[in-house]
Amino acid sequence: MTTLKTIIEPFRIKAVEPIRLTTEPEREELLQEAHWNLFLLRARDVLIDLLTDSGTGAMSNAQWAALMRGDESYAGSDSFFRFRDAVQHLTGYTHVIPTHQGRAAEHILFAIVGGAGKAVLSNTHFDTTRANVEVSGAEALDLVVASAADPTSEFAFKGNIDLERLEHELVTRGRERVPLVLLTVTNNAGGGQPVSMANARAVREVTRRHGVPLYFDACRFAENCYFIKTREPGYAERSVESIAQELFALGDGCTMSAKKDGLANIGGFLATNDDGLAEQARNLLILTEGFPTYGGLAGRDLDAIAQGLVEVVDEEYLHYRIVSTAYLCNNLHRAGVPVVRPAGGHAVYLDATRFLPHVPRGQHPGQAIAAALYRVGGIRGCEMGTVMFPHLLDSERPELVRLALPRRVYTQSHIDYVVEAVTEVFRTRETLRGYRIVREPARLRHFTCHFEALE
Ligand code: F0G
Helix ranges (DSSP H) in 37-141: 61-69, 78-91, 102-113, 127-135
Distance between Cα 40 and ligand 1 center (Å): 19
Residues at CB less than 6 angstroms from ligand 1: 52, 54, 101-103, 126, 128-129, 184, 188, 217, 219, 257, 259, 268
Mutate to test the pocket of ligand 1, among 260, 297, 402, 444 (most ligand atoms within 8 A of CB): 260
- Give percent above pLDDT 70 in the chain: 100
Per-residue pLDDT band at 303 (split at 50, 70, 90): very high
Distance between Cα 5 and ligand 1 center (Å): 34
Classify burial at 154, counting beta carbons within 10 Å of its beta carbon; exposed 0-12, middle 13-18, buried 19 or more.
Answer: exposed
Per-residue pLDDT band at 305 (split at 50, 70, 90): very high
Picking from 385, 410, 294, 318, the residue whose alpha carbon sits closest to that of residue 56 is 410
Distance between Cα 126 and ligand 1 center (Å): 7
User: What Rg value do the Cα atoms of the chain yield, rounded?
Assistant: 21
pLDDT at 190 over 80: no
Minimum mean pLDDT among 59-63, 341-345, 393-397, 447-451: which range?
Answer: 393-397
Question: How far apart, in whole angstroms, are the C-alpha atoms of residue 266 and residue 193?
Answer: 24
For the 61-311 domain, the top CATH level (class) is alpha beta
The answer to whether residues 181 and 140 touch, using CB atoms and an 8 Å cutoff, is no
Give the model's pLDDT for residue 239.
98
Instruction: Read off φ and ψ for residue 407, nearest 5 degrees.
Output: -80, 125
pLDDT at 230 over 80: yes
Picking from 135, 73, 76, 75, the residue whose alpha carbon sits closest to that of residue 104 is 135
Per-residue pLDDT of 61-78, as tens digits, reads 999 999 999 999 999 999
Per-residue pLDDT band at 197 (split at 50, 70, 90): very high
Question: How far apart, in whole angstroms, are the C-alpha atoms of residue 132 and residue 121?
Answer: 14
Ligand 1 atom with the shortest distance to the CA of 187? 3
Give the model's pLDDT for residue 223.
98
Mutate to test the pocket of ligand 1, among 50, 52, 54 (most ligand atoms within 8 A of CB): 54
CA-CA-CA-CA dihedral for 80, 85, 87, 89, to nearest 10: 180
CA 236 distance to own-chain centroid: 25
Picking from 436, 280, 423, 276, the residue whose alpha carbon sits closest to that of residue 348 is 423
Q: Closest Cα to atom 2, ligand 1: which residue?
A: 126
Mean pLDDT of the chain: 96
Per-residue pLDDT band at 311 (split at 50, 70, 90): very high
Per-residue pLDDT band at 189 (split at 50, 70, 90): confident
Cα–Cα distance list, 330 to 253, 339, 355 (Å): 35, 9, 16
Distance between Cα 447 and ligand 1 center (Å): 13
Minimum mean pLDDT among 93-102, 268-277, 339-348, 393-402: which range?
Answer: 393-402
Mutate to test the pocket of ligand 1, among 109, 122, 186, 259 (most ligand atoms within 8 A of CB): 259
Comma-separated ranges of CATH 3.40.640.10 domains in the chain: 61-311
Those residues whose C-beta lies under 8 Å from the C-beta of residue 222, and which sit 6 or more positions away, are 240, 244, 261, 312, 313, 318
Distance between Cα 329 and ligand 1 center (Å): 22
Distance between Cα 258 and ligand 1 center (Å): 9
Comma-separated ranges of CATH 3.90.1150.10 domains in the chain: 24-53+315-453
Per-residue pLDDT band at 195 (split at 50, 70, 90): very high
Instruction: Read off φ and ψ for residue 29, nearest 5 degrees.
Output: -70, -45
Ligand 1 atom with the shortest distance to the CA of 259? 13
pTM attached to this predicted model = 0.96
Question: How far apart, in whole angstroms, are the C-alpha atoms of residue 209 and residue 142?
Answer: 21
Per-residue pLDDT of 108-150, as tens digits, reads 999 999 999 999 999 999 989 999 999 999 999 999 999 998 8
Residue 276: strand, helix, or coil: helix
Per-residue pLDDT of 410-421, as tens digits, reads 999 999 999 999
Give the model's pLDDT for residue 127.
86
Element (DSSP H or E) covering residue 333: helix 315-334
Per-residue pLDDT of 428-442, as tens digits, reads 999 999 999 999 998
Give the model's pLDDT for residue 443.
81
pLDDT at 186 over 90: yes
Average pLDDT over residues 226-241: 98
For the 24-53+315-453 domain, the top CATH level (class) is alpha beta
Give the model's pLDDT for residue 137.
98
- Sign of the Cα torsion 146, 148, 154, 159 reads positive
